[in-house]
Chains A and B, each alone.
Chain A
Amino acid sequence: MNNQSIKAGALMAGLLLLAGSTQAQDAAGGANDPYFYDNFLFWSLAALGGVVIIAAIAALFHLLNVMVKVNQIRIFQEMGIEAYQEEVSKQREPFWDRMYKKWTDAVPVEKEQDVMLDHNYDGIKELDNSLPPWWVAMFYITIGFAVVYMTYYHFTDKGPGSAEEYEMEMERAEKAIQAFLATQANLVDETNVTALTDADALASGQSIFNANCAACHGMLGEGGVGPNLTDAYWIHGGDVKDVFKTVKYGVPEKGMIAWKSQLSAADMHKVSSYILTLVGTNPPNAKEPQGDLYEPQAETTQPESTEAEGADENALGMNE
């Protein structure tokens, strides 16, 4: 069971309460989406509040019942048995029994002969019970819902259509992202990226590579559908900035995907760094070299990398 499964369970509890057309999507946004917990907390509290209110009402009814009984005892003590019996006979059935009868309006089984219809279909007879009032009420409520819904969405300007809803969602997301990014510093992009060297980052780069890149470039970077990444030849440049840029924007005309919508900057940073560690590994079944020979200029990247390390940690931190 991972986090998602637990959230699925939480969703199960809260789902039917969510009626607003945009609310549920926000809720489905999950833990990192502030809407999820806001909504979930709100509805949990609302449900809890509802239970408390129902309990309070039940307690009040109980109290009322006790008071009625006490009053009857007082009448018995003060005015004798006859007055008491008269008082008790005035008292009607308990509230819930009355409500049950009222809302089901069913003829009791013992008296069903009174409402038995005279037809007999191969031994099957029919009773003429009333439509259950709660059922009728439910039917009317759903019809009312239908009228309100159609009016709101199609006869007024208020209800958004699917396309408007989408635009609103995108705007909201954009704002949330900007707000988040404003709190982050030292974002990596192709102008300032430097190769990472620490083992954790490279290990994580490797797992990103295996999940996303290996299908075309081979598990060892030996190439396949895509070019060999282990030789010194690069079609789009072998500097970390070039590799990052190729990963980020892709080369759509050759089938290389633009990963910017699927990997965060930090992830692209890690995987680009990992790719550079593959150079010179000479894996088996390597594809023939493509592109131009690239020779790294060790002197220029080396001093930068120490300086960049602090910045990189920040950049990595944003995805965790």
Chain B
Amino acid sequence: MAQVEQFRYDNAIVRKFAYATMVFGAVGILVGLLAALQLVFPALNFSTAETTFGRIRPLHTNAAIFAFVGNGIFMGVYYSLQRLLKTNMYSKFLNEFHFWGWQAIILAAAITLPLGITSSHEYAELEWPIDLAIAAVWVAFGVNMFGTILKRRENHLYVAIWFYIATWVTVTVLHIGNNLELPVSMWKSYPVFAGVQDALIQWWYGHNAVAFFLTTPYLGLMYYFLPKAANRPVYSYRLSIIHFWALIFIYIWAGPHHLLYTSLPDWAQSLGTVFSIMLIAPSWGGMLNGLLTLRGAWDRVRQDPILKFMVVAVTAYGMATFEGPMLSIKSVNAISHFTDWTIGHVHIGTLGWNGFLTFGVLYWLIPQLFRTKLYSQKLANAHFWIGTLGILFYAIPLYWAGWTQSLMWKQFTADGFLQYGNFLETVTQIIPMYALRALGGTLYVAGYFVMLYNLYKTIKAGSFQAYEEAEAPARVATAGAHKGEHWHRWIERRPVQLLIGSTIAILIGGMVEIFPMVMIGDQVPTIESVKPYTALELQGRDLYIREGCISCHTQMVRPFRSETERYGEYSKSGEFIYDRPFLWGSKRTGPDLHRLGNKYPDSWHYNHMLDPTSMSPGSIMPVYPWLIEDDLDNSLLPAKIMALRTLGTPYAEGYEEEAIADAQRQADEIAARLRKDGIDGEGLEQKEIIALIAYLQRLGTDIKPAPQAGN
């Protein structure tokens, strides 16, 4: 027997991450509630750029995913890793660097997103300097984790750690892949890839951010905290092995299911569909191992709020991972995509799986850290029921809204007309559902604050021990292997091989899908008439990005009769070759804009941006008065032109010199047209609105009226 060694678990870092989790959970859901209310009461956009939905929505998603769940991951990892490996963390400096670095990134996000500094890639909105900071902090986390693993006293790595390792390597790869961008200035960059390629890479990232930030690390937490809380053995070791490897291998392939019926080539869409279907079993493997671990403890589930939270979390995980593949079937996706069904679906995952598992962990962990009992089981039970009710009130109205709106979009009269030709009718129809959803959100928030109070009282009553004494025998590297052991034990003793193995598993799918799209030219048939944006249109496009129009408007007419009748010719991949970044969007709270160009007069857009209800009575779109008040800043224009030319947009040599003059020429024309329609104003030619109108009037006009460009 090896010599027993004394060491101390570092609980201080765990407590820090736990506090951050609690704070940013509140921030994330409150900002989400604001966004939900803005859809019902547009006045809550406050006529201020920084608080308008298009900027609030990314703030909500980033806060919920990276601040709340992110800190939750680190809290759970720093607690469980030390104990599963029988050692303290590798480096105190890296602990602190990781913690403060991550909070600094959150702060930077909270400042830049409301300012409209965004790459517009969903869940990767942060601009390049923050991307670099994320990379640095993430690497620090990785070094700290691997340093800890290498100095472990436990020979074998438990399944939770396999998930931590896969999470770390995959997030690294995804983060780098989706943020390949060329800086123009400190707070502006353009992505290396354009159009369809950018879309494929973004959703390879976006889908796997869900997979490897919201799922795999939380499966790791489940594998530690659920058996701890239930005091039951994990149901099946063999199931852990199969579902771990199958999950990380298959997940990566499924990204294109976010792009069904878009201009992405059919073969890539089909891969997205079939790999999503094949994901059901690996995902359910995790759910089964969680739920079946509770065999023999179901009587306790009735009383123990911690287990209740965990059971609902794992069940929500199972529901969401069954629904996801169903939504990846093209015929279902034709109904669900761009509607609130998707929003309902993701919130089953986030509110149910991530939220409730975090709550379960916090209720278990805080009393452990503070060496006391939970202040009130009753309040925890109350939180459980309020929260569950909140999820139901959140999700069911959104499912209903999604189906209703989708059916209305597709409804034709017998003589072949859209029954609801005015998009707005399909929006006003579902506003009551939005109100109910906001009620669900309110309940969830209320429950959350009940938890904060409960935990605060627990913390007050307890005494924190920053460094917890522990002991374990020293590791004897050769002691692990024995005859007849499961073959997988081999890799469990070899963290580096495990890292390499999971890296290979997660690289294959992305490479098979992305390489052909990027390398083979004929994947995107070129269209002769598609030309780069003019300087002013480019400026307008960057305003469209800044204002977060993509939160509510798509630019992707799908090949459906109901869409070509409503919007015009369906979108072709060749139309997007100068779109850096692509702006296809993922949700239609407002109509698609890809064929908006030349549909309305300039003055319509001017009035509409000033007050949407003046042109569309009943519209829930926010007002944008600052676009009319503020002068357009052209100082970056030459640098933007040069950056885009470097990336492959064929601007003529020297165009950057005349870009500002050219933009002004076009602005003067538009301003003249506006003046003719009776719109006047001091320095109208200089205003931001002019650039935005230039861009909106350009949209989709390259092939309009449409010659049948091959696709």
Tell me the bound Cα distance from A103 to B604 in angstroms.
Answer: 64
Tell me the bound Cα distance from A162 to B414 in angstroms.
Answer: 25
Task: List, in ascending order, chain B residues with CB within 8 A of A18's CB.
Answer: 331-332
B278 contacts A28, CB within 8 Å?
A: no
A204 within 8 A of B: no
B415 within 8 A of A: yes
From B158, B281, B335, B598, contact of A139 by CB (8 A)? B281
A contact residues, total (Cβ < 8 Å): 83
Tell me the bound Cα distance from A262 to B616 in angstroms.
Answer: 16
Task: List, in ascending order, chain A residues with CB within 8 A of B242's CB.
Answer: 131
Task: List, in ascending order, chain A residues with CB within 8 A of B239's CB.
Answer: 129, 131-132, 135
Residue from the set A122, A154, A169 with the largest chain B CB neighbour count within 10 Å: A122
Task: List, in ascending order, chain A residues with CB within 8 A of B295's CB.
Answer: 106, 109
A121 contacts B84, CB within 8 Å?
A: yes
B236 within 8 A of A: yes
Task: List, in ascending order, chain B residues with CB within 8 A of A278's CB.
Answer: none
Tell me the bound Cα distance from A255 to B674 in angstroms.
Answer: 13
A135 contacts B281, CB within 8 Å?
A: yes
By beta carbon, the residue of chain B nearest A141 is B281
A162 contacts B238, CB within 8 Å?
A: no
Known interface pairs A12-B403, A135-B284, A263-B421. Does A124 touch B227 (Cβ–Cβ under 8 Å)? yes
B400 contacts A5, CB within 8 Å?
A: yes
* Interface-lining segment among A49-57, A73-81, A192-200, A209-217: A209-217
By beta carbon, the residue of chain B nearest A12 is B403
A162 contacts B261, CB within 8 Å?
A: yes
By beta carbon, the residue of chain A nearest B260 is A162
A215 contacts B83, CB within 8 Å?
A: no
* Interface-lining segment among A86-94, A173-181, A240-248: A173-181
Task: List, in ascending order, chain B residues with CB within 8 A of A294's CB.
Answer: none
B407 within 8 A of A: yes
Task: Count contacts between A and B, CB distance < 8 Å.
Answer: 232
Known interface pairs A15-B332, A122-B83. Does A215 touch B238 (Cβ–Cβ under 8 Å)? no
A12 contacts B399, CB within 8 Å?
A: yes
A215 contacts B614, CB within 8 Å?
A: yes
Known interface pairs A29-B412, A180-B415, A225-B601. Does A143 touch B278 (Cβ–Cβ under 8 Å)? yes
Shortest beta-carbon distance, B102 to chain A, in Å?
25
Tell me the bound Cα distance from A40 to B411 in angstroms.
Answer: 16
Shortest beta-carbon distance, A130 to chain B, in Å?
7
B561 contacts A173, CB within 8 Å?
A: yes
B406 within 8 A of A: yes
B224 within 8 A of A: yes
Shortest beta-carbon distance, A110 to chain B, in Å?
9
Known interface pairs A124-B233, A131-B242, A225-B603. Does A215 touch B616 (Cβ–Cβ under 8 Å)? yes
Shortest beta-carbon distance, B606 to chain A, in Å?
9
Shortest beta-carbon distance, B343 to chain A, in Å?
15
B233 contacts A169, CB within 8 Å?
A: no
Task: List, in ascending order, chain A residues with CB within 8 A of B296's CB.
Answer: 109, 112
B267 within 8 A of A: yes
A119 contacts B407, CB within 8 Å?
A: no
Instruction: List A121-160 residues whose CB lies under 8 Å from chain B.
Output: 121-132, 135-136, 138-139, 142-143, 145-146, 149-150, 153-154
Known interface pairs A19-B331, A263-B421, A264-B413. Does A149 touch B273 (Cβ–Cβ under 8 Å)? yes
A261 within 8 A of B: yes
Tell me the bound Cα distance from A163 to B614 in angstroms.
Answer: 38
A24 contacts B334, CB within 8 Å?
A: yes
Shortest beta-carbon distance, B602 to chain A, in Å?
8
By beta carbon, the residue of chain A nearest B158 is A121
Task: List, in ascending order, chain A residues with CB within 8 A of B425's CB.
Answer: 211
B418 contacts A262, CB within 8 Å?
A: yes
Tell me the bound Cα distance from A9 to B607 in angstroms.
Answer: 38
B288 contacts A132, CB within 8 Å?
A: yes
Indicate with 1 or 0, residue by residue over B271-312, a CB within 8 angstroms of chain A CB atoms.
101110110111011001000100110000000000000000
B467 within 8 A of A: no
Task: List, in ascending order, chain B residues with CB within 8 A of A129's CB.
Answer: 235-239, 292
A149 contacts B274, CB within 8 Å?
A: yes
Task: List, in ascending order, chain A residues with CB within 8 A of B269's CB.
Answer: 162
Task: List, in ascending order, chain A residues with CB within 8 A of B521's CB.
Answer: none
A170 within 8 A of B: yes
B560 within 8 A of A: yes
B560 contacts A166, CB within 8 Å?
A: yes
B98 within 8 A of A: no
Q: List 14 A-B contacts (CB under 8 A).
A: A4-B404, A8-B403, A15-B332, A20-B331, A21-B329, A25-B335, A109-B295, A121-B154, A129-B235, A129-B236, A146-B277, A162-B266, A162-B269, A215-B617
Closest 10 CB pairs of A and B: A255-B601, A262-B421, A8-B403, A24-B331, A139-B281, A146-B274, A166-B559, A177-B416, A129-B236, A122-B83
